[in-house]
Structure 1
């Protein structure tokens, strides 16, 4: 981290501060460490690079010579491997710190290092972390077996790394290995109860398990340790969003049992306010936090702040980098807002179609299909001569690649609305597909 901070301060043009940060980084290397010289190769290289850019060529050359001198001491293959392992490790962690576009490169660096030592603790932890992040970016298309293997190796060869334990626990949870997952979470919290990363991932585990109260408690501890973390504020917002749903369900259950509901209604209102507060803090700290804007729009809608909700949705839609899964989540929530809060079936249909047209087989896509199907059934139930209802049915079958059912429903729609070009084109296209 000191090396990274040195680089960032160099980019700002503050060479003195950059040099101070490099000195702090060097202080972390203990002379008692048998591999101290190896760890200094990257360090001295950084000094040489920074001094070169300050045009202090004499000192820069001196540090470059120090690197060469260390290399001379590690000419034998086994010793040279140690040198390469440290360089691959430093490079891998640097790539991880610079964001998602570098995760694949980070994984490659750690994997290259593991070619020399498959049991190396830090390389295994780095590789597992990188694979987990790559897999998370590409969900749900990713095959997770390689990620789980990497995480299991990291836990095996680096049992002190509590973060990889929590990441493996989340993978186990996804694959319904609940007992193993819970055990790892408990171990990690016992080993390092003050780690913001452990607290954050443990909170994710409990939230997914339906224990939003426990998750919130852990995240409150984490935010006290890292008060400028947009990610943790977002996670807190998501936890309070879960509590909104939980209290709504409790309120409905109490009503059906003819019990008082005021307490749950109040709890739900407080959870909405807290969710909004934390999500607003998240986007204040990170103006490009797409997931936070989506959740914030949803919470604004639930509080009846419709203009703010739409502002948040448009902000999210205008982001430069948005994955297909994120688009599906955005347009599902936007469609629900239009349907339930604004009573606009037409606008809701538009957004649900956008979700379904993205072929990612996510839960959000299934929810959108469910909503669109319900709208179609209601239309046909209220008026059997409603072309739109049959047209929506045709669209759903078409996207689910059930061509014959799609044609049948589009033809019913066309009989009721003979001039509709959308239905004509859809039937022509589907019939062409069946002939191929």
Structure 2
């Protein structure tokens, strides 16, 4: 029999170590069964949105109190992903406290997701006994429904649905399924109905499809004070050419919720479509006060200023100096907000082609990069984003490879590295021919970001070998096998020649 003892250094004895191992093995089997953010695969294969934390915090500020626990749970998960586990525990404490206060009649059921998250965070902190405590709390509730660690219930489906709606477009379909499942049990629940309406709106891209209109109207009947859903209905009606009714709904929503950011953003979108760009800019700027790190808002404002230039150009009154000065001023505003878009890390694939022209002149490049009074690390990160941005917009992989590599050595922030690694992988997968020299170079950069210097060196050797494969000295044979030296196509030879010109 193992006996407990403590050394002078305070290390565990054999028995403590044994039970710790038993506890860890047990948790390894239990935790994947818990319904919570850690088992929903919310960001599998993706980087976290640059401004997600800001948006979640904003929702906590403006949402009705009874909905806040859902956002605190999501915020806790985001904090964990960023390595801030103690902050994650604080968020879970806020969620637990609000559930007890606002949902006292359903406190146990509503707490299952929070307790599951607690168990996972404590597990990652190595505090296994506390992780087991929260897993046991889940078990005690679930056993009442003849299932040890997981149950089917509409409140859990609803929580998962709201969480997925916050985590990007790819999650919308699954969010819709969650709310539909919840409504099967409680068809007249206002919260479930609102969730389904928002998910349906996000998925419905066809103006003639009236199904989402029906769901939105039903949600408004059940939640007459939900101003956001009113604006979504207005946007849908606008697409169906029922503009007067839509504008009335927008005006009503802005009057009743003048500071709610999701209402402001959607109302701005309504006026942008209408062509009232000044009103759209006014509303986007108001939303920006609460969400200063939101790249999407900066992009929308840049787009509106560019559209204002088009409006003036279409009047045919370009000859007067007043109009020329006004156009120049609008363009500078557009470039300024486009700079912020790049700074805030908005995915370049989201950018409209009309804005690409703003980056074509050397003068504007200087505004974006060289004119920024930033510390060297931040300036270099901005330069990397700018390069990737240009590569997406112009389909120019050499721009991304060369400019990105200039700033790579001093990029030290882990979240920044992850985001840029993800963007580099996209360029490599979507824009470069397989086995192109720059493809090997990109793979080398990604391995370098991962800290795998041996694999990075191998990839760089492959890239260098393709560059030198046709050298009369035969030096390419040092880096490529015989089959690789002989099997290259004419296209590969051209790629190698181009790469030899581009490589610093």
- Residue 129 (structure 2) pairs with residue 58 (structure 1): yes
Aligned to 2:211: 146
Deviation of 1:177 after TM superposition, in Å, equals 0.6
Q: 1:36 to 1:160 in 2, by over 3 A?
A: farther
Aligned to 1:316: 393
- Residue 203 (structure 2) pairs with residue 134 (structure 1): yes
Aligned to 1:177: 242
Deviation of 1:308 after TM superposition, in Å, equals 10
Number of aligned residues: 305
Q: TM-score, normalised by structure 2?
A: 0.55
Aligned to 2:275: 210
* Higher RCO (CA-CA < 8 Å; seq separation 6+): 2
C-alpha separation between the residues in 1 aligned to 2:88 and 2:365? 47
Q: 1:319 to 1:156 in 2, by over 3 A?
A: farther
Q: 1:217 to 1:50 in 2, by over 3 A?
A: same
Q: Is the 8 A contact 2:317 2:323 kept in 1?
A: no
Deviation of 1:234 after TM superposition, in Å, equals 0.9
Describe the superposition over 1:347-399 as per-residue Cα deviations: whole angstroms up to 9, x where unpaired.
xxxxxxxxxxxxxxxxxxxxxxxxxxxxxxxxxxxxxxxxxxxxxxxxxxxxx
Structure 2 residue runs without a partner (length 5+): 1-70, 369-385, 398-504
Q: Is the 8 A contact 2:231 2:253 kept in 1?
A: yes
Q: Is the 8 A contact 1:9 1:15 kept in 2?
A: yes
Q: 1:115 to 1:228 in 2, by over 3 A?
A: same
Deviation of 1:316 after TM superposition, in Å, equals 2.5
Aligned to 1:268: 327
Aligned to 1:47: 118
Q: 1:319 to 1:221 in 2, by over 3 A?
A: farther
Deviation of 1:44 after TM superposition, in Å, equals 1.7
- Mean Cα deviation higher: 96-105 or 195-204: 96-105
Deviation of 1:210 after TM superposition, in Å, equals 1.4
Q: Is the 8 A contact 1:290 1:319 kept in 2?
A: no
Q: 1:282 to 1:115 in 2, by over 3 A?
A: same
**Aligned 1:160-309 pairs, distance under 5 A:** 160-250=225-315, 252-253=316-317, 261-292=320-351, 294-300=353-359
Q: Is the 8 A contact 1:48 1:61 kept in 2?
A: yes
What secondary structure sits across from 1:115 in the alignment? helix
Aligned to 1:352: none
Deviation of 1:154 after TM superposition, in Å, equals 1.9
- Residue 183 (structure 2) pairs with residue 98 (structure 1): no
What secondary structure sits across from 1:28 in the alignment? helix
C-alpha separation between the residues in 2 aligned to 1:253 and 1:212? 19
Structure 1 residue runs without a partner (length 5+): 256-260, 321-436
Q: Is the 8 A contact 1:172 1:181 kept in 2?
A: yes
Q: TM-score, normalised by structure 1?
A: 0.63
Q: 1:17 to 1:84 in 2, by over 3 A?
A: same
